[in-house]
Structure 1
Amino acid sequence: MKDFDHLMSVWQGQPAKTQLSVDEVLKQVKKGIRGITGKLYWGIVGMIAITAYTFVVLFFFTFKYWQTYVGIGVILMTMLLYLSLIVRHYRILHKRDHTVNPTEYLKSLKEYQKQRATLAGWFYYIFVMLISVGLSLYLVELLAHSSPVKKYTIYGLTVAWILFLTFYLKRRIFRSEEEKLNLLIDRLQRLENQFEG
């Protein structure tokens, strides 16, 4: 009888499967998406400002070397490509209302997650490489009459900055967003499973 009582107390002590509150999950999802879209929005605003400045430099400043024009052109095209990608990502998250059709919303979140994973993968490295090439070509004229010490110092700092962006900052930026997105998708899937099961 002691064993039975012990088994009953263990069984009753097991946590019951908690039912998720629809309102609470939707509030959390809305808040999480608002945070991600807010970052994307300010990224778009910043990229538009930098792209406009680069456009002005390319077309309204005069340079001696053709490499400078090519470098600035490469930087401008790379920024326009990146701008188009983040605008597309912003639209994916911002255009859908999660209360109208949660299943479609979950699909759009998964689509966004897949596209961001692609961006975090190969495209980020291509982006950094193209910006580096453009910056290197631009610096040829900028540093043409500088001392070798100044040239090596600026090129060294530029390479260090690019390595920092590539190997440290990239992981932090994309990992944080990926964790938030995984949490939101998990909550929506659990909610969906709750109503199916």
Structure 2
Amino acid sequence: MQEFDDIQSLWHSHNVEVKISSGEMLVQAKKEVNSMRNKSLLNILGMCLSLIAMACLWLFFDFNSWTTHVGITILITAIAVYTFILYRGHRLISKNDFTANPNDFLQELKLYQLSRYSLYNSLYWIYTVALSVGTALLFVEILAYFSVWKQVIAIICTFGWLLFCSTIVRKVVVKKEKERIALLIEKFERISGQF
């Protein structure tokens, strides 16, 4: 028993200090910030492509029902607003040079964290409801051309996909992004402390 106590006291007294220079930390932070910027740009690009696809659908197909036009209008509006919100968030993390002034970038990063929190909570649900309503109104005319089984499959697949993305995928993405931003904020706080 004495040997165990000796090993335990040795273990508790042994402190390992990991020293990372501010330069190394800045290099790591630069990679993470560039990764966040690129991911943000890809999200914006994907939303712009969705917006163009919806506009093309409206322009190149002759819809007869007013519900289809209202549905497409709701979809385009929701996508455009969400794209603008994503763009505002992207500007927060890309307008400052974090190597010149880490403190300013840290403040912008905290604002970005708040905007992402808002985006993934209340704004996301407004976006999801708008997509659901727009799709439902769009389906009124489009599904009339399908057989009953194809209608059921289209409705189940579409709203199942929305449900899957709103629950499982959203939780995973939010968790990863929260951890990533929190870690980046911690790094910049350490960098600012070292300067």
Greater relative contact order (Cα < 8 A, sep 6+) = 1
The residue correspondences of 1:109-128 to structure 2 (distance < 5 A) are 109-128=109-128
What's 2:54 paired with?
54
Q: Which residue of 1 aligns with 2:91?
A: 91
**Which stretch has the larger CA shift, 149-158 or 167-176?**
149-158
User: Matched residues in 2 for 1:193 and 1:33: separation?
Assistant: 19
Partner of 1:145: 145
How far apart are 1:16 and its partner, in Å?
A: 5.3
State the AA in 2 paired with 1:122.
Answer: S
Q: How many residues align?
A: 188
1:65-84 correspondence runs (5 A) = 65-84=65-84
Kindly report the root-mean-square deviation, in angstroms, between the aligned alpha carbons of the 2 structures.
2.0
Flag structure 2 segments of 5+ consecutive residues without an equivalent. 1-5
Specify the code of the residue in structure 2 equivalent to 1:152: V
**Aligned residue in 2 for 1:3:** none
Does structure 2 retain, via aligned residues, the 8 Å contact 1:109–1:185?
yes
Q: Read off the aligned partner of 1:21 and give its amino acid letter.
A: S
Amino acid at match of 2:33: I
CA offset at residue 118 of structure 1? 0.5
Alignment deviations for residues 96-147 of structure 1 (CA, whole Å, 9 cap, x no partner): 1111111111111000001000001111111111111111111111111333
The match for 1:135 is 135
- Name which of structure 1's ranges 18-27 and 62-71 shifts more when overlaid on structure 2: 18-27
**Secondary structure in structure 1 of the residue aligned to 2:144:** coil
CA distance in 2, matches of 1:105, 1:97: 7
Name the TM-score, length of structure 2 as normaliser: 0.88
Q: Is 1:161 aligned to 2:161, yes or no?
A: yes
**What does residue 30 of structure 1 align with?**
30
Can you list the C-alpha shifts for 1:33-52, whole angstroms capped at 9, x where unaligned?
Answer: 11111111111112112211
* 4+ long deviations beyond 4 Å: 9-13
Alignment gaps of 5+ in structure 1? 1-5
| Alpha-carbon distance, 1:17 to partner | 4.2
Distance in 2 (CA, whole Å) between partners of 1:191 and 1:26 is 7
Q: Distance in 1 between matches of 2:114 and 2:162?
A: 25
Letter in 2 for 1:187: K
Matches of 1:169 and 1:92, distance apart in 2: 25
SS across alignment from 1:143: helix
Normalising by structure 1, report the TM-score: 0.87
The 3 A distance-change label for structure 1 pair 148 and 16 is closer
Distance in 2 (alpha carbons) for counterparts of 1:11 and 1:142? 69
| Residue 193 (structure 1) shift | 3.4
| Match status 1:43 vs 2:43 | yes
CA distance in 2, matches of 1:104, 1:17: 28
1:26 Cα deviation after fit: 0.7
Amino acid of the structure 1 residue aligned with 2:69: Y
Deviations 1:71-118 (A, max 9, x none): 000000000001101111111111111111111111110000010000
